[in-house]
Structure 1
Amino acid sequence: MCIDEKDSFNLLNKFPKDNRFQTFLLDKNKKVVAIGNPINNPQIKELYQKIIQGETTNQKDESKLVQTEVSIDKTSVEMGSFDWHKEQKATFTLKNTGGSPLVIQDVTTSYGCTTVSYSKEPAHPGKEITLEAVYKAEHPEHFSKTVTVYCNTASSPIRLSLSGDAK
């Protein structure tokens, strides 16, 4: 791990702003062997682990992966102003509009004050999965949080957002 306090490595390499592509794995010769953030993507984490453990890695044939399609009722929720001592809840509904079961593989949040609950059961075609996001402020603040949903769709990961003013 390297912490570049002066951002000189980034200035030299001109990394993209998207933090998914600002993490990479180097070999013993300092050559980049994998790019992606293993904290935000369980598939990248699995890839990193295989490389570190010396296992062979093969590119998956994307055509063999069972995918479906999804529609989302909303991608962002503005919670407005509220007493920071009170939890705020928002729901997002993912509807399976494809022909195969919709499976949520993982859900991550951008900060610990946001939690998400949902059914771990697959949603069959035409059925829905509801995600309930709960925001609990640690102190008064304006916030903008991200919920990232990893599922078996071409649009995965799906980014949902919560914002508001905890006063």
Structure 2
Amino acid sequence: MCRFMYELKTVIRKLFIACFLCLFLISCKDAKTDAIISLLQKWDGKEILFPKSPIFTIKGKDTILYPILDEYKILTYVDSIGCTSCKLKLSQWKEFMALVDSVKSESIQFLYFFYPKRSADVCQLLRAEDFDYPICIDEQDSLNKLNDFPSEIAFQTFLLDKNNRVLAIGNPIHNSKIKEIYLKIIQGGEVKLDGEKNVIQTKVNVDKSVISLGHFDWQKKQKASFVLKNIGKSLLVIQDVNTSCGCTEVTYSKEPVRPGDSILLNVSYKAETPGSFNKTITVYCNANSSPIVLRITGDAE
């Protein structure tokens, strides 16, 4: 039985590397293939080391005992670089945890380690999002020092086995395809590209992929709209829309779009601080050009 489980995990890891490589290169065609392969192979099966007695908190108020258990885990690490709320996406993590809880075949522990510029900013976000799951505010960046994580946010989340070895790498909140693969592994299913070639494809025309919001008062919410027209012969289905920042929200109709019809993506942006910005909206759909990357830019003053 032990040998069977070992062989099963080995197959899962190899399949995941192949799948992740395909998915990552689809969304980042200019990436260096060799570098990505090397990174994935480096972390394949690697044991994650944890600091002794890390301190966890709920909403930044109370510290609690939260032992790291001998069970499957999803570990996400967030460094101090860039927009904190953009990286955390706490509301989406709450949704993902609820989804995992509804489908899991084995117990899964979520581990959040945040290394912020200012702890107060994280605590404020935790309270604002009503995020009451334990997190570790790692002010000394001790977890990263033990493991030397990749600098790219796409490679700072890990699915670990009971021995803290990496089964899969990738952020399921920032990439819907990675989310699908995580769920398949958690449920004990076969990891593959899910027969994407069998999905009925269509064609999409985007009226404009970049919208400039110009100069505006940073305290006022800005709005813009992108139009996607189905110019193919099949229904267009929007599967997921991700934004690069928590300060950017997108609303749209969930109904399939008939050939010849269009769908409106309504984008709202609320700056956290004054400054220039360049935010992306990634649309996953059954178009042959998916994922479609849209962008809003401007100067919040």
1:32 Cα deviation (Å)? 5.3
Structure 2: which 5+ runs fail to align? Answer: 1-74, 78-142
Alignment-derived partner of residue 299 in structure 2: 165
Which residue of 2 is the match for residue 56 of structure 1?
189
1:108, CA displacement in angstroms?
1.5
Q: In structure 2, what residue type is equivalent to 1:83? A: D
The verdict on how the C-alpha distance between 1:154 and 1:24 changes in structure 2, with shifts beyond 3 A counting, is farther
CA 1:45–1:79 in 2, change beyond 3 Å: closer, same or farther?
Answer: same
Number of the residue aligned with 1:4: 144
After the TM superposition, which residues 28-47 of structure 1 pair with which residues of structure 2 at under 5 Å, given as runs? Answer: 33-47=167-181
1:129 aligns with 2:263: yes
Amino acid at match of 1:90: A
Corresponding position of 1:72: 206
SS at 1:4's partner residue? helix
Write out per-residue CA displacement over residues 1-34 of structure 1, whole angstroms, 9 at most, x where no aligned residue.
3652598454xxxx8x6x5466554555776544
Shift in alpha-carbon separation, 1:32–1:71, aligned structure 2, 3 A: farther
Q: Runs of 5+ in structure 1 lacking a partner?
A: none
Q: Name the structure, 1 or 2, with higher relative contact order (CA <8 Å, separation 6+).
A: 1
Correspondence 1:116 to 2:256: no
> For residues 62 and 138 of structure 1, what CA distance do their matches in structure 2 show?
38
| Paired AA for residue 57 in structure 1 | E
SS in 2 for 1:90: strand
SS in 1 for 2:144: coil
Matching residue of 1:156? 290
Q: Return the index of the structure with the highest Cα Rg.
A: 2
User: Aligned residue pairs: how many?
Assistant: 160
In the alignment, the residues of structure 2 paired with residue 129 and residue 51 of structure 1 have an alpha-carbon distance, to the nearest angstrom, of 33
Tell me how far apart the structure 2 counterparts of residues 7 and 80 of structure 1 sit (CA, whole Å): 42
User: TM-score, with normalisation over the residues of structure 2?
Assistant: 0.47
Letter paired with 1:138: E
Q: Name the TM-score, length of structure 1 as normaliser.
A: 0.81
Quick one: structure 1 residues 99 and 162, their matched pair in 2 at CA, closer, same or farther if it must change by over 3 Å? same
CA RMSD between the two structures: 2.5
Higher normalized helix content (fraction of residues): 2
Quote the offset at 1:107 in angstroms: 1.0
- Residue deviations 1:84-140, cap 9 Å, x none? 122211111111111111111111111121111111111111111110111112332
In the superposition, relative to structure 1, how do residues 154 and 163 fare at CA in structure 2: closer, same or farther (>3 Å)?
same
